[in-house]
A and B are shown apart, each in its own frame.
Chain A
Amino acid sequence: DSGVTQTPKHLITATGQRVTLRCSPRSGDLSVYWYQQSLDQGLQFLIQYYNGEERAKGNILERFSAQQFPDLHSELNLSSLELGDSALYFCASSVSGSGETQYFGPGTRLLVL
């Protein structure tokens, strides 16, 4: 158990819909990262937050957004969903977000029908 929690574990929805994925980092970690794992692309970095502020962006679509709240939990919002958004979404956390080990949650499996 990494100490990072993610909800829900599974999500099934339809194209065009909007979903919210939630992540709680390990106790004491200030930085949260979101990654997407799809069959053909592997694990891809989406976005990083540190203490409530966006720190870095990766290959995140404009239809996707995220935020980190004062209690340090984070939410990833996916809107106008397409079939190709079906993937595993992982959250990771680290202490300061400056080049140290990231610990991953169990992931949310999203299926868009």
Chain B
Amino acid sequence: DAEITQSPRHKITETGRQVTLACHQTWNHNNMFWYRQDLGHGLRLIHYSYGVQDTNKGEVSDGYSVSRSNTEDLPLTLESAASSQTSVYFCARLAGSYNEQFFGPGTRLTVL
């Protein structure tokens, strides 16, 4: 859906490199989230933000960081990529009458 864009859609990197995944939303919504999705685990929350300059850790935040300098963007950075961070990453914002999660198309990251 064009409301949330994620880039790149696919990324291959090497162990130890810094990687940044972009998430951009066009609805000017305060609440944004990053998840990783792995077989057998479902969606797990990495970091989230409730507004500019606000960031919070999720259940699997080790090795990841986020920054929120404006409402539209919440980039996710892997400071030193590890093979265990090979996954599909989804950015989300809240939507609807009951604030359910609305997801972007995802980024598939492979760490060799």
**Chain A complexes with chain B:** no
